Amino acid sequence: MLVYEYVDNGNLEQWLHGDVGPVSPLTWDIRMKIAIGTAKGLAYLHEGLEPKVVHRDVKSSNILLDKKWNPKVSDFGLAKLLGSEASYVTTRVMGTFGYVSPEYASTGMLNEGSDVYSFGVLLMEIITGRSPIDYSRPPGEMNLVDWFKGMVASRHGEEIVDPLIEVQPSPRALKRALLVCLRCIDMDANKRPKMGQIVHMLEADDFPFRTVSPVACFLHNLVQFIPEY
């Protein structure tokens, strides 16, 4: 039996998708605090341990929140160990629909890149307040990743922010978060950033990030269309 310390604010899912009234208690700054804290936790699992730990079930219901909104990554029931000599481990596909990376879902080949993809979906969820899969929405909006990419590609990135956030983020802060999302869900798992890099990207004041990656440059050009106001 695994016992966690008591957390006053339950899990992230209930705050994003529960009945919180007309204004969410989760301000933009609190949401970014949760995202950064979660990224740091995953970075420790991937880069601070040997063998590294792949969580395999990163999702909002597995992010516990204390009274100061500090996040704690929970539920390691599906976690897998990955030694330094191994680039992946082949395993039965597990996880939660909507968060699982495409390459893991199709091949069963798992590494930390799968957690990075799941974190990207989680960050989209944090930004938009939408569930990864929501069959109550119109056909083009049921899948969060597809809808999100379409909104950014059509220059409507500023319209995706959760309407329950009373004070909207600055264009600069939003661009930073959108770019991180898009980098995390790159269909080429080898081009996704490491979790340690993601922490830096979310905390960085020097946005746009320095990069020579053509994909990153293309994504950066997309989010530049968010208007300054």
Classify 168 in phi/psi space as left (phi over 0), alpha (psi -120 to 50) or beta.
beta
In angstroms, the CA 53 to CA 38 distance is 14
Nearest alpha-carbon partner for 16 in 111, 177, 126: 126
206 is catalytic: no
| DSSP letter, residue 172 | H
Among the listed residues 8, 19, 29, 57, the single catalytic one is 57
In angstroms, the CA 138 to CA 62 distance is 27
In angstroms, the CA 159 to CA 131 distance is 16
Nearest alpha-carbon partner for 185 in 149, 137, 136, 227: 149
Residues known to be catalytic: 57
